[in-house]
Amino acid sequence: MKKFFIVALLIFTTSVLSAQKHYAVTYEQLKEYEGVYEYFNHAVIKIAASPVDTILYGIINQSSYALRPVDKDVVVNNLGQRTRFLRNSMHVITGYVTGKDSFKLITKNISFPQQMWYPRSPADLVNYHYKYTIPPALNDGLPTGDAAKAGLDTALLAAMMDKIVTAKYLNVHSVLIIKDGKLVFEEYFYNYGRDSLQEQRSATKSAISALTGIAIHQGYIKSVNERVLAYFPEYHLNNNSELKQKITVKDLLSNQSGLNYDEAYDKAVGNENTMSYTDDWVKYTLDLPMLDTPGTRGRYASGNPITMARIIEKATHMPLHDFALKNLYRPMGITNFKWNFTPDKRGAENYGEVFLRPRDMAKFGLLYLNNGVWDKQQLVPAEWVKESTSKQSVVQGVDYGYLWWLKYLDADGGVRYNSFAAQGNGGQKIYVFKQQQLVVVITGGNYNTQSPSNELVKKYILPAFNKH
């Protein structure tokens, strides 16, 4: 999931920024720009100066995006687009201009915790040496165990920790490992902790998949072959056609709706950025012209799962949050979560995503590892787990199930490991390795940049199983 400001202002890509001219500026000078500013759609953005890399960061909800100064009062994004801070006659910062839009400074009365800049407190790094500890048993449904006894390589885990703590891998918020049903590794970084709600971004799609399976099992939705448009008789759709009438629930789940919507295809008519500021995301999606025959080609289109989530609400006559709480989360002991699903411009800054604690992300992965069973209760039908994590399409060159990625990772040592994964922008990952009885959860803040999540798993976790 992306945000307009990421594309228009706040994405950081090293290769592009390195081409910009260098502009010398001190940390103290950057602090002049700190504050809370107006933002699109009546939201706000916080601007913070980093003492670590001496650049600015724009913070929207939990997401932080780097802004590099290239001139007096001017910062750039990875596209080279400039944003200029505004000053009054007294040379005091009053707002900023990006493109044709200008926004005001709301307040400078804001402070940022030091811990947000460092994986560990700088004081802790003086004599840092990682020592493994078994995760605490919290009576939350996750039994804990010893990583070494579970077959993990503790020397590799220590090396991983050293790399993360010394910022060789940036913006990793947490790493958790479940092996053989037990939580054996749990570490948090920066200002994130065990009770921090982590935005899931597109990993939310896999939760929508689970809820679809539950809704079908309970009879609210007849089958994956149900026609999508039958759920929206109130719409008078643009570009209606016989092809559009054929779109099924299965097509939404496999991202094969055929609609002209593709985040990775710059000539596509539909995209997330445009959709996000419309009054009805579902109608926006279904209004689009057709590009393919439904069920024939996978395209990464966030409007598909958004539409599927709305079908769940209409079929069950329950808000998505309530249906998820009743049928999925509460039975797993998950009550501390946030899911404000509003598929219109009110949700432009969160895209209707779910927020979960990393331990609860691990529970979701464990649920699927155990074929939908939690505490002897079948929450998600076993046949749905199998079907939704089997190949249904190919999206962006990767095998794809029902809103699950079917991925392989080649570990150091050359051994290939198959998994299915929920994943979201920034490095939000839930990997499930069924053969190894392994679940790995990684959360992060590498929004629209390359996340180190895959590398962490390939170099420091999977090699422990190479000789098994």
What is the tally of structural domains in the chain?
3
Q: Is residue 166 part of a domain?
A: yes
- 208 and 346 fall within a common domain: yes
Predicted local distance difference test score (pLDDT) of residue 468 = 66
Confidence at 22, pLDDT banded by 50, 70, 90: low
Q: What is the mean pLDDT of the chain?
A: 93
| pTM of the predicted model as reported, rounded to 2 decimal places | 0.94
Q: Is residue 427 part of a domain?
A: yes
User: Over 50: is that where the pLDDT of 289 sits?
Assistant: yes
- 51 and 157 fall within a common domain: no
- 92 and 135 fall within a common domain: no
Q: How many CB atoms lie within 10 A of CB 322?
A: 13
Q: Is residue 365 part of a domain?
A: no
Q: Is residue 396 part of a domain?
A: no
Last residue of a domain, one of 55, 88, 112: 112
169 within 8 A of 452, measured Cβ to Cβ: yes
Produce one character per residue of 37-76: b if its CB has 16 or more CB atoms within 10 Å, e if not: bbbbeeebbbbbbbeeeebbbbbbebbbbbbbbbeeebbb
Q: Is residue 376 part of a domain?
A: no
Which amino acid, residue 279?
Answer: D
Residues 55-62, mean pLDDT to the nearest whole number: 91
Best CA proximity match to 255, nearest among 240, 267, 241, 268: 268
- 218 and 277 fall within a common domain: yes
Confidence at 318, pLDDT banded by 50, 70, 90: very high
User: Over 90: is that where the pLDDT of 17 sits?
Assistant: no
426 within 8 A of 201, measured Cβ to Cβ: yes
- 280 and 416 fall within a common domain: no
- 106 and 123 fall within a common domain: no
- 179 and 252 fall within a common domain: no
Predicted local distance difference test score (pLDDT) of residue 406 = 98
- 276 and 411 fall within a common domain: no
Predicted local distance difference test score (pLDDT) of residue 21 = 59
Q: What is the pLDDT of residues 195-240, one digit of tens each?
A: 999 999 999 999 999 999 999 999 999 999 999 999 999 999 999 9
Last residue of a domain, one of 88, 112, 136: 112
The Cα 251–Cα 5 span in angstroms is 30
Predicted local distance difference test score (pLDDT) of residue 89 = 98
User: Over 80: is that where the pLDDT of 454 sits?
Assistant: yes
- 331 and 232 fall within a common domain: yes
User: Over 80: is that where the pLDDT of 414 sits?
Assistant: yes
CA 151 to chain centre: 29
Tell which wins on pLDDT, 461 or 79: 461
SS3 398: strand
Q: Is residue 366 part of a domain?
A: no
The position carrying tokens 């995301």 is 281
Which tokens sit at 403? 């809103």
Which tokens sit at 138? 């919290």
Pick the range with the lowest mean pLDDT from 206-210, 235-239, 351-355, 455-459.
351-355
- 189 and 319 fall within a common domain: no
Q: Is residue 42 part of a domain?
A: yes
Predicted local distance difference test score (pLDDT) of residue 125 = 75
Last residue of a domain, one of 112, 132, 167: 112
Pick the range with the lowest mean pLDDT from 59-73, 247-261, 410-424.
59-73
Q: In what order do the strands lie in the sheet with 182-188?
A: 182-188, 172-179, 438-444, 428-433, 416-424, 405-410, 398-400, 393-395
Predicted local distance difference test score (pLDDT) of residue 322 = 98
- 331 and 415 fall within a common domain: no
Q: How many CB atoms lie within 10 A of CB 314?
A: 14
Could you tell me the residue range of the domain that residue 96 belongs to?
Answer: 4-112
Confidence at 11, pLDDT banded by 50, 70, 90: very low
